[in-house]
Amino acid sequence: SNTQTPARMALVDVNGKIVKELGNAKGPDMDAYAIAKTEIIRIKSADGLFELPALVTWPAHYDKTKKYPMLISIYGGPNAGTVWDRWNWSPSRELLAQEGLIQVAFDHRASGQFGKAGVNYMYHDLGYWEMEDYSTMAKWFIHNAGADPARIAITGFSYGGYMTCYALTYKSDVFTYGMAGGSVVDWSLYDTHYTERYMGTPESNPEGYKKSSVLSYIGRYKGLLQIVHGTMDDNVHMQNSIQLISALEDAKKPFEMMLYPGGRHGWPYLPAKWDDFQNLKAKFIYKYLIKKPIPEGLLH
């Protein structure tokens, strides 16, 4: 498969000749549908060293002379890519394209797309280089593809939640809305096995811990952040989100918060709470990005 082609399977000989078609996920009626265009593009990093990949689903009837809200889905972190040239169509993505939303996934220099040469940038420096690359890519869409600078949203879970919170604070001059789930907000609150592999200890790298902490940039926060956490999360402990909302309250900053009782690091095994979580995100997207009432029947 690729971004334009549903998965196919075939038996192929050593010379590359197809011996037998075994299956094709593309149904006979697919060509009758106007499916939103999805493609991979590459954007040069600000320092000119990397061609950063972005997976883009363009709005239906896209016209780059118009302004569109943009939703950026990310994970971040060392050697953890999210942009792949494969078929990943979904009904929700198609609906949001019909609503005029630019939907993108970004990969930064240390995502694994560029090997160890890219990952090396993150040694003792989690957060910074990802955010530099993400903001460069977001600004490319603002200047070249009609993304509305007042409606640039970013969303992610776990490390992606960390990057979302970091974006709404450290890089709030670019990112205006965020939906963050199960987020690390300060690396001194996460387990030593992962954190110290990249960051060293707080004693050996105090500046790195301070620089990478969302809590260091509360004064820059603007826009609106939706914060979500499971109360039984034994991976990213809930103290992360609690410390974040405490700091936001002290600074008199607006935010949205939802807790999921019994939720661990994610809650798809709790169907009612999973449905509520999907509804929560859909309402946020329609209210702040699309700016219209949510369609009847869309919520779970």
Catalytic option among 45, 158, 172, 183: 158
Catalytic option among 1, 85, 237, 265: 265
Catalytic option among 183, 186, 233, 241: 233
193 is catalytic: no
233 is catalytic: yes
- The answer to whether the CB of 36 falls within 8 A of the CB of 60 is yes
What length does the chain have?
300
Q: How far apart are CA 295 and CA 266, in angstroms?
A: 26
Catalytic residues: 158, 233, 265
